[in-house]
Amino acid sequence: MPVGSEMHRWATELFPICRSITGNGVRETLKQIGKRISLTVHEVPSGTQVFDWKVPLEWNIRDAYIKNARGERVVDFQKSNLHVVSYSQPVKQRMALAELKEHLHSLPDRPDWIPYRTSYYKESWGFCLSHNQLLSLTDPEYDVCIDASMTEGNLTYGECFLPGESQDEVLISTHVCHPSLGNDNLSGIAVATFLAEWLQMRPRRYSYRFLFIPGTIGSITWLSRHQHEASRIKHGLVLTGVGDAGPITYKKSRQGDAEIDRVMAHLLKHGGAPYSVCDFIPYGYDERQYCSPGFNLAVGCLSRTPHSQYPEYHTSADNLDFMKPQALAESLWYCQSTVDILEQNLTYLNQNPHCEPQLGKRGLYRAVGGQAGEKSMEMALLWVLNLSDGRYSMLDIAERSQLPFEVIARAASALSSQALLVPQPSQES
């Protein structure tokens, strides 16, 4: 099965789970992730102080509905978990339609779609429904039930740590707090999980830390518990909205010119597909926590169409059909290619720096010209030899030569095989 189709099939299994920032839906999602990769699940008690925030009460929901006078469920949580505002207080009463409407949310401009709404840090309750459903409510009274609990419990998150030769880390972070939404956020969960699966089977220069966390409060909690270890994170990506058909979008880290920013810009430039690179702003997903001034980590955000810039965002139209297997596969490829560049971005020292070494006698020039790609490889060999004075990394050389990193890396490998290059000792850790 093609990897994109496999990712989509697995996301389909996770789609019905009712996730929120805490609760059993998160635990069940992490359980399924843990069947594919080595995952440690952490529980942080409600009320725990995490910087300026506190871990909230744990929310779980069993059922919810609005019934008409005939006892029919006109809004039914069992049919869509988007029907209930996440973190709604429990309620069970009969109320007049006028009063009920104060707790109802719809989209008049998209009358068949159900919106997704939350009330994490404010005590309230509500239902989301299509506008057509709202217009069909004509009875004077309705029975309303939200069978939910708000108790002292835990915030739950998952962590997959893959040690490498170095203690320096690459962070991959995605949120696990949305219910039945495909692109936001099952696409990020799928790409991160399959990336970890791929990395588990490879030798690693860096160590890799994958976080599956509830949005905002999850990254704040992790950072609060790992203030000192966070300094080991040298590169990072937040993955979100990586399954729609739009072009790849990369949002830079707060630093703006970090290695991860340069890697992504280089990849996208040479990827041959439409893309967008945008500057950091302190709004969006968990990159804004990792990039807060007290940490200022080199963490960017990889997505496709940016959040809120497609009409399906935070609605029932962000379904399994909206999330495309081909887009998932392409997003995974960009993540894997990013890892390849980070792993190979060494700095070398030319062992024959006085004029060009004779490459022909070492078999590094073909005897007959005209081979496809030969000219770019020839130029790559010359660029690598010229700039390998211990100051320029492979990425520096790729950017300056305007050649793809993979061509520069092949040239460096060929030159190393002939003992013309050696890596700088400081880059071998």
Is the same domain home to 140 and 187? no
Q: Of 151, 186, 221, which closes a domain?
A: 151
Please report the pLDDT score of residue 366 as a whole number: 62
Is the same domain home to 79 and 170? no
CA angle 263, 269, 272 (to 5 degrees): 125
In this model, does residue 343 exceed pLDDT 80?
yes
Please report the pLDDT score of residue 420 as a whole number: 94
Is the same domain home to 310 and 422? no
Q: Of 94, 129, 151, which closes a domain?
A: 151
Is the same domain home to 73 and 146? yes
Please report the pLDDT score of residue 370 as a whole number: 43
Cα gap 216→92, rounded to integer Å: 31
314 carries a ligand binding annotation: yes
CATH number, position 286: 3.40.630.10
Contacts for 386 with CB less than 8 Å, ≥ 6 apart = none
Least confident of 245-249, 310-314, 360-364: 360-364
Nearest of 98, 80, 100 to residue 145 by alpha carbon: 100
Beta strand spans in 83-230 (E) = 91-96, 104-105, 127-128, 141-151, 154-162, 169-175, 207-213
The most distant pair of C-alpha atoms in the chain lies apart, rounded to whole Å, by 92
Q: What is the pTM of this model?
A: 0.95
Mean per-residue pLDDT for 350-373?
75
Mean per-residue pLDDT for 353-364?
89
CATH number, position 125: 3.50.30.90
Is the same domain home to 125 and 161? no
Is the same domain home to 353 and 331? no
Please report the pLDDT score of residue 426 as a whole number: 57
Nearest of 48, 29, 47, 49 to residue 39 by alpha carbon: 29
Please report the pLDDT score of residue 331 as a whole number: 98
pLDDT, tens digit, 9 for 90 and up, residues 196-235? 999 999 999 999 999 999 999 999 999 999 999 999 999 9
Residue 401's domain comprises: 347-427
In which band, very low, low, confident or very high, does the pLDDT at 344 lie, cut at 50, 70 and 90?
Answer: very high
Is the same domain home to 340 and 353? no
Contacts for 24 with CB less than 8 Å, ≥ 6 apart = 60
Is the same domain home to 340 and 352? no
Please report the pLDDT score of residue 359 as a whole number: 87
Is the same domain home to 217 and 75? no
Is the same domain home to 10 and 94? no
Number of domains the chain contains: 3
Mean per-residue pLDDT for 54-69?
98
Order of strands, edge to edge, in the sheet holding 91-96? 73-76, 58-67, 141-151, 91-96
CATH number, position 385: 1.10.10.10
Nearest of 365, 353, 220, 229 to residue 289 by alpha carbon: 220
389 carries a ligand binding annotation: no
Is the same domain home to 336 and 393? no
As a whole number, the mean pLDDT across the chain is: 95
Is the same domain home to 168 and 243? yes
User: For residue 349, what are its two tokens?
Assistant: 């020292």
Asked if 3 contacts 324 with a C-beta cutoff of 8 angstroms, the reply is no
Please report the pLDDT score of residue 373 as a whole number: 53
103 carries a ligand binding annotation: no
In this model, does residue 367 exceed pLDDT 90?
no
Q: Of 344, 377, 405, which closes a domain?
A: 344
In this model, does residue 238 exceed pLDDT 70?
yes
